[in-house]
Chain A
């Protein structure tokens, strides 16, 4: 079984290494000190299990989860975070609380072995992130994968998102990024007064809309700052008006 460890603290990685080395048939493929490295290492080594710290430089554990292969089993490792613990319990995600003993660690590993091959639901990471965010606060940035690298889009720089099958296409600063996520879950994470779902397939940054032109009786077209033209449905037109009206 191939394992990757991601924790920014050397000593914390040491505990995992110590326990893992005693287990037969385990290979530690990589140890990472930040979220970017973790995403890269998972893509490169295709491990079976990722031990993932929640608070890390560059990307936190939830953002890493969004960007990695959904077949990799993930065990979160955290010291104390009431909200995260509640979210993990609710989503039935495996986690270890620091400090943890060898027996607890082995139990987590056994559970993983029984479940290898399972694929995580695509919405899990968004659900976790929404669960740990305090009420009234919204996503400030969106992380996307750019080949092997990670790109961060600040929420204010996102022009719009377009639904494409299992993916969403994110338009920002003249470029388009693809991400495996539904448009509804992105909508639930972003500020509802800054982003409006003007169409079933489109979520638009309200600051980017210059005007709305009538099209047919029940459809309109939104024209964005960069000239992009986006269809507006009847329901979307209502949402847009109620947002700018009050």
Chain B
């Protein structure tokens, strides 16, 4: 079925667009055939209604003859033929109406004969125009669909991404501990496995409760605390009510990873990562603060924040925010996501 007919608002809008078209057609034939307003209306109203429906038919023809894979000759031939058939049929209907009314309006069929060529040409033109419009709509639809698919694929890839740098460094820490402290080595193995398993599991879901995201973050930090020892200190202050809020999966953990990688890891003495979670009017506000060295050697992989920002934008548009402030030695990232009570269902 034609997509316009799925949606009654769109259908009404479409029919509304035919009002001025019908008026123009009426004006043309009333002048060409010197018809009165009433005579014109009697002929043009049924003609316009029929034409409005006939002009939806190219939807099928246009899809059967795609622009890219159809030869120009066949394309032109088929559509011109259709336009001529439509024009002839509409003209015949108009003539029938005119002749059936010539009893009450003497000479109507004769006078209408003068408007014949104008009406035929106009109908053919409108029909060809509707074909062109259909091609435009079909083209826009395909490009939007492929864009959506590409974005979905990208999001999946971004979510599944576990930073290899983190992984290999953790394995190196385990390798170091196996000789000096086998018990801690095993402990770290298990912590790393917990983190990887959870991040794979959560990455498959679009939304998760904030509490689960924080749990994952905690697992990540457990591993990093073995690696950095006393250099990595933590302070956590999250309102209990935040836990129930739905957030996109894996948005907090990359922010924390960022704080470790570009903040703590580049400070010889390390420092404290402060995390605050609050429910505010606009939604859930999460703030993460870490000390950093503004003179540190340039880092080559600041893509973590960009990924989170892209994902928020794709999902919430302007309703979500990710703000970054850097003072002399404190780096602060604030995330604001609108709170959804119900999980979003794919449409």
Contact = CB atoms under 8 A, between A and B. Distances in A.
Given A9-B227, A33-B268, A59 B297 contact: yes
Contact of A98 (B168, B295, B300): B168
Contact of B168 (A8, A83, A97): A97
A108 interface: no
B300 A134 contact: yes
A59 B169 CA distance: 19
B180 A63 contact: no
A15 B168 contact: no
A56 B176 CA distance: 18
B293 A57 contact: yes
Given A99-B168, A132-B300, A11 B293 contact: no
A34 interface: yes
A12 interface: yes
A81 B169 CA distance: 11
Given A57-B266, A79-B168, A80-B165, A14 B229 contact: no
Most chain A CB inside 10 Å of its own CB: which residue of B172, B176, B295, B297: B297
A79 B298 contact: no
A152 B165 CA distance: 27
A56 B266 CA distance: 6
A97 B175 CA distance: 12
Interface string A96-125: 011100000000000000000000000000
Nearest to B230: A10
Nearest to B298: A140
A229 interface: no
Contacts of B177: 11
A11 B172 CA distance: 8
A56 B169 CA distance: 13
A58 interface: yes
Given A9-B228, A15-B175, A58 B168 contact: no
A133 interface: yes
A15 B185 CA distance: 13
Contacts of A140: 298
Nearest to A58: B268
A11 B176 CA distance: 6
A98 B172 contact: yes
A14 B296 contact: no
B113 to A, nearest CB: 69
Helix, strand, loop or mixed for chain B's interface?
Answer: helix
Nearest to B180: A14
Given A80-B167, A99-B168, A10 B229 contact: yes
B298 A57 contact: no
A224 B168 CA distance: 49
A23 interface: no
Contacts of A133: 298, 300
Contacts of B337: none
Most chain B CB inside 10 Å of its own CB: which residue of A11, A14, A79, A140: A11
A219 interface: no
Contacts of B296: 57-58
A233 interface: no
B265 interface: yes
Interface string B148-169: 0000000000000000110111
Contacts of B175: 15, 98-99
A9 B266 CA distance: 11
A57 B168 contact: no
Interface in A44-97: 55-60, 63, 79-81, 83, 97
A137 B301 CA distance: 12
Contacts of A35: 297
Contacts of A218: none
B266 A15 contact: no
Interface in A1-23: 8-12, 14-15, 18
Contacts of B171: 98-99
Contact of B173 (A11, A58, A59, A134): A11
A57 B174 contact: no
A134 B302 CA distance: 11
Most chain B CB inside 10 Å of its own CB: which residue of A63, A83, A99, A133: A99
A8 B293 CA distance: 15
Contacts of A59: 297
Contacts of B293: 57-58
A137 to B, nearest CB: 8
Contacts of A98: 168-169, 171-172, 175
B179 interface: yes
Most chain B CB inside 10 Å of its own CB: which residue of A55, A140, A141: A55
Contacts of A141: 295, 297-298
10 contacts: A9-B169, A14-B176, A14-B179, A34-B268, A58-B297, A59-B297, A79-B169, A79-B172, A83-B300, A141-B297
Interface of A: 8-12, 14-15, 18, 33-35, 55-60, 63, 79-81, 83, 97-99, 132-134, 137, 140-141, 152
Pairs of residues from A and B, 7 with the lowest C-beta to C-beta distance, nearest first = A98-B172, A99-B175, A79-B168, A11-B176, A60-B297, A99-B172, A79-B169
